[in-house]
Structure 1
Amino acid sequence: MMDLTPSEAQRMLRHSAERFIAEHYDQAARRHAMQDPMGFKRENWRKLADLGWLGLPFPEEVGGFGGGPVEVAILMEEFGRGLATEPYLSTVLLAGTLIAECGTQEQQMVLLPAIINGERLLSFAHYESDARAGLSEIHTVAQADNQGWMLHGRKMAVLDAVSADVHMVSARLPDVQGAGLALFLVPKDAAGVRLRDAPRLGGGRVAELTFERTLLPPDARLGTGGDVLPAIEGVVDRAIAALCAEAAGMMRSMFDATLDYTKVRKQFDRPLAANQVIRHRLADMYVQCEEARAMAARAALPVGADSDSTQRSLAASGAKVKVGRCARNVAEQAVQLHGAMGVTDELDLGLYFKRLLVFEALFGSVDYHLQRHAKLFGNSRSE
């Protein structure tokens, strides 16, 4: 039987994250950060670097802490409770992890320390207009020429692109037979790059990136060759597990706020919580919060870089389905029990509700992952 008791280091990490969120993410600070043109405050990002959390999943050889998916899940859960808007997902868990797995040694030694120190931000530009078909549906192309590479295409819903110093862009190589997908590092000020930015529900920013005959040097390609799609699939599965932990933290904050409200809000001279029907609804919310947290923890266990790809994908898709359904129910109950106040700007509850809607859509909907899980499970049974 697997021992799930947290280690001393994991308990210390959770305690530190809880304290950091309590000190830096009250209602006023959260709303102030969301109004920033970058979608977050740079001083908070520097504090994350000082605490060493930007290096949590990276190996010690490049200045990281060598943490795994469980440690990342602990941190993401606390970020969810505080509704943090920093680009941890895009810079560290997506682009940074792909550099660690696919980059050359020189690229790793240059880029990863800059990420860990908080000096460089990256976005992960992968999804396109037909993203519902899966991660392999990429039509952006990179053609080799005498000067390096020429990039042409459009990317949709790129998280935190407006604050990124470098965009990590996936593209096909039509001139290289059997090369599949490749990743390119595109500076934000490269000629031919157009960015259309918009606020994201619940905080943060999202953008559409267009590349029109964007010229890149020969060393702009990440790594030395080979199809990077399997690496992208693995990194996205791990990102889904981390997002499930973040969603579990948001759900718990919504439950706590709703429980407190029903204790003080009175109808007919009695608190709402004195009503047995309300108690049943609160109990259901609590159970769903615990179910979501358990599924997020379960998803974090088999998603390491060296884990079996089928089991990793099954765990990620299963967690996305379960946590997505629980999140929808908890969010709706919280808003209903708060009455009309549940979606007003005066309460943070509406922000949590919107962020959970974004969680449902990120990296595939609940329906998409239900179908993916069924297909993967069927294939594994037939082998």
Structure 2
Amino acid sequence: MCFSQHYEFETVIDLEATDVISQGKTGTCWSFSASSFLESEIMRISGKKIDLSEMYNVRHTYPKKAWNYVMRQGKTQFSEGGLAHDVINSIREFGLVPNDVYSGLKNENENHNHSELVSELNKVLDEYIADSKDYKTDWKEDIETILNNHLGENVSAFNYEGINYTPLSFLEFTNINPNDYISITSFNHVPYHSEFILNIPDNFSNGKFLNVPLDELVSITNTALKNGFSIELDCDVSEKTFSSKYGIAVIPENELESTEALKTIMKEKSITQELRQQEFENYNTTDDHLMHITGLLKDQNGVLFYKVKNSWGKNSERVGNDGYIYMSEAYFKLKTISIMVHKDPLNYILYKKTSWN
């Protein structure tokens, strides 16, 4: 294998996806990535190209986060963060709407900025927790008012291409079944082929994950992509060798070569289950960011990379590869927290090993 060459990539698989957009100044990558994932699923299932509303999911998830925070008396995290299954939970209960029906942008704003929104929500919740008996109004109604002021009131009915829908009937129109999607991870502190609640800060809703060996996680991902199914990805992006500017994510064997590894091919670390676990337990791997895997590439040495759709915009000096990250298998193996995928690509043996099917 030849090293110290500039990257040259050849497309292996390129699944249909909607355009790269920006989540703006928000921590809602979980909704942007999962919405992109669902948009690709709709195209795969029905051929329809629909720009889904990311903020509709956010609007319905904040009250549930707030309830969790209040009932735990502030002894948990309340933030903008979330996970892919929060979008699945939202659409199961509240359905889907197109983005032009609910953009979450008010007062002619063109970009999302939730700094004031989060500050106002936190103020209400913390005041109520500090002295619930002296709180003069209904905190739940106050949360709804803040969300309405910043994102817009909820949608109960709308017209799409000349047909009237409710959000739930529109979900039915897309042929998306929320029960078809499963979150999968790989850690050795719980038995393989069992489900467990992954204890990470953004898992406020106590979502369950199927635990599989690392090689199986990679196999499931590659098999899904090769069969036309894209993948939702939760991973750590805090490494110096994750670069939006260069559009590259790698794990060089020599950490001193991290800057050079973004531009030229370097030998990567061999990633084991034990190293992955160690990095998770010492907090070097955290649930920083969610994105959408839409394909496979290979470099000039035949090494596979994942084509990962990000939500930090494109056509900027700080964003390479048109808003996509080309992620090596080594990076994926070490820094992935979890994936979410349709159940169909999972092989028969995996179905038989588990109790969730």
Does TM, scored on the shorter chain, surpass 0.5?
Answer: no
TM range (shorter): under 0.3
Larger RCO, structure (CA 8 Å, separation 6 or more): 2
